[in-house]
Amino acid sequence: MLFNSLEFIYLFLPITLVGFAALSRIKAGNAAILWLVAASLFFYGWWDPRFIPLLVGSVVFNFLIANRLLGRTGGHRLRQALLVIGIAGNLGLLGWFKYAGFFAANLSKISGAGLSVPEIILPLGISFFTFQQIAFLVDARRGDVGNLSFSRYSLFVVFFPQLIAGPIVHHKEVLGQYAAPTFGRVTLDNLGMGVTIFGIGLFKKMVLADWTAEYANPVFGAAADGTVVTILEAWIGALAYSLQLYFDFSGYSDMAVGLAWMFGIRLPFNFHSPYKARNIIDFWRRWHITLSRFLRDYLYIPLGGSRRGSIRRYVNLAVVMLLGGLWHGASWTFVIWGGMHGIFLVINHGWHAFLHRIGRDPDQATRWGAAWARTLTIIAVVFSWVIFRADDIETAVSVWKSMLGLQGLVLPQNLVDVFGIPADAWLSTGRMAGHEFVNELFFYQDPLGPWLLFVLGLALFAPNTQEIVHRFGPSLDPWRRVPAAGIHEARRIRWSPHLGWGIAVGLMFGIANLGMSRVQEFLYFQF
């Protein structure tokens, strides 16, 4: 079931809210938790009920392991063995469903052994709930987890707003909320704020992301078919996908926060205007924040972090980003994407180290210097998204070559006709077969032309959802900044419970509803 579907918005969500509120009103706290667990399993099973036992089995397995770790029974070696068994069980499950075919195919190419595995359907959300439970087991082994209740632990894992595509929630952020005396109170304030955040996220997905996909899909589709796209088409396609992915995942994350807040539960926000980042380090503090936090706390730091010298630090960064790329999908395209960002981070940290050695503060820059840094960062990010989007390496290389002008500086015919640009041996004109819409881009024949600039402007300059609603506290800050950075950017646009915002949210819902006849999945569902 999708957040952006009619059955979810007008059937599942109201029924779940009413049942939860009714059980909470009669002081049946544990029953309210079990109601949410049951509703979440129904939500998950709507896609394919065959995978409900898989999810339930994962929850029970990890609960039993965690319970033994918390029991303090046995010595250090036994508890360490239990942790290894728990992590191995989770990674084994993830590895079979997500990576078995990938590794079998690559081993076959290397050895010629002809290895194969049966076709495997990837269960929704397995990457997210696996990482979340691995983190819980590690914390239980460290002694950072208190008393454990099976019902609360189950809700921690399967709570439907964050089950499929995150955020990756830390147990300290939510388990205490489930045990609080105020848990279960459905209030008009929470509903109003939750509906607002959900509406903003729905608008991001249905309008900003899905409409922008109309630019990205034809370009990458043509490149995959072997068509040489023009330099302008390649950059438009790459930029369009960058914006589509951001508003698609940002929209999902907003919707998750808004849905949880309707039930009085605060989830961490996952995005903080990442395309405003001043460097790649800053980008990863803003993009998919809860994944970055997980990789830092449970992979980078255990590998040694920066405690063993600069060389080891750079190696750790590269390894973490390679694994982070592989987490997104069983394909060399994701591995290369992760490797690219590993290289970007190594260069960025090396540059900062150099500035420190010469007595300069990397965070201090002139206005023009900051603008150049942001521009360079967004170019690097857009360039790297190409292989993230491409079906294979060959498609990505073709688009990259076009972006760099290595396949000839082919310009759209209309651009040449309007401005009278002469063509010579290195500059030619043409149309991309079957995808002529780009030739009319930014001309009156194509009303979608200014759309890309509008969406780009929102990503680069508009306040984000967290900044707009921050003073009402509907979400958590995963980096524990108090207050969240960048709130000053939203001084002119702050949500408040008055008629104007009600009309605005209603309009966003109305416009988004117009597209629900052709509902598209969220991009991160494939991960």
Rounded mean pLDDT of 414-425?
51
List pLDDT tens digits, range 484-508: 444 444 456 788 888 888 899 899 9
Instruction: Examine the pLDDT at 320 and tell me if it is beyond 80.
Output: yes
Q: Reply yes or no on whether the pLDDT at 130 is more than 70.
A: yes
Residues 328-373 pLDDT 10s: 999 999 999 999 999 999 999 999 999 989 988 887 878 888 899 9
Mean pLDDT of the chain: 86
How far apart are the C-alpha atoms of 354 and 363, rounded to whole Å? Answer: 13
- Band the pLDDT of 58: cuts 50, 70, 90: very high
- Predicted local distance difference test score (pLDDT) of residue 148: 85
Torsion of CA 118, 119, 121, 122, to 10 degrees: 80
> Between these two residues, 225 and 182, which has the higher pLDDT value?
225
- Neighbour-count burial for 145-163, b at 16+ CB within 10 Å, e otherwise: beebbebbbbbbbbbbbbb
> pLDDT per residue over 59-105, tens digit each?
999 999 999 998 766 678 888 999 999 999 999 999 999 999 888 88
User: Given phi > 0 = left and psi -120 to 50 = alpha, else beta, which region is 495?
Assistant: beta
Q: Which two tokens stand for residue 191?
A: 């509903």
Mean pLDDT of 195-221: 92
Peptide bond into 167 cis (omega under 30): yes
DSSP string spanning 173-210? HHHHHHHSTTTT---HHHHHHHHHHHHHHHHIIIIIIH
Measured CA to CA in angstroms, residue 221 lies from 216, 367, 420, 508 at distances of 8, 39, 30, 30
pLDDT in tens, 380-408: 999 999 999 999 999 999 999 999 988 87
d(CA 310, CA 323): 20
For residue 171, which phi and psi values (nearest 5 degrees)? -60, -30
Is pLDDT larger for residue 419 or for residue 373?
A: 373
Tokens matching residue 346: 């190594």
- 249 against 517, higher pLDDT: 249
Residue 224 has pLDDT above 70, yes or no: yes
Q: Which residue has the higher pLDDT, 118 or 289?
A: 289
> Domain-by-domain residue ranges, the chain?
6-185, 272-376
Model pLDDT for residues 14-29, shown as the tens digit of each residue: 999 999 999 988 876 6
Q: What is the pLDDT of residue 526?
A: 77
Whether the predicted pLDDT of 311 surpasses 80: yes
Neighbours of 81 (CB within 10 A): 12
The catalytic position among 170, 328, 341, 470 is 328
Q: Which residue has the higher pLDDT, 414 or 16?
A: 16
- Of 97-111, 157-171, 191-205, the range with the lowest mean pLDDT is 97-111
Does position 141 have pLDDT exceeding 70, yes or no?
Answer: yes
Higher pLDDT pick, 287 / 410? 287
498 in catalytic set: no
What is the DSSP-derived secondary structure letter of residue 113? -
CB 20 within 8 A of CB 28: no
Q: Which residue has the higher pLDDT, 127 or 436?
A: 127
| Average pLDDT over every residue of 243-258 | 95
Per-residue confidence (pLDDT) for residue 430, from 0 to 100: 42
> In angstroms, what is the C-alpha Rg of the chain?
24
**Is the bond into 450 cis (omega within 30 degrees of 0)?**
no
How many whole angstroms separate alpha carbon 127 and alpha carbon 62?
A: 15
What's residue 138's pLDDT?
A: 96
pLDDT of 441 above 50: no
Quick one: what percent of the chain has pLDDT higher than 70? 88
Query: Which residues are bridge partners to 409 per DSSP?
Result: 427
Give the pLDDT confidence score for residue 231 in this predicted structure: 86
Which residue did the predictor score with more confidence, 358 or 445? Answer: 358
Flag whether pLDDT at 435 surpasses 90. no
Confidence of residue 410 (pLDDT cuts 50, 70, 90): low
**Which DSSP string do the residues of 2-48 spell out, in sequence order?**
-TTSHHIIIIIHHHHHHHHHHHHHTT-HHHHHHHHHHHHHHHHHTT-
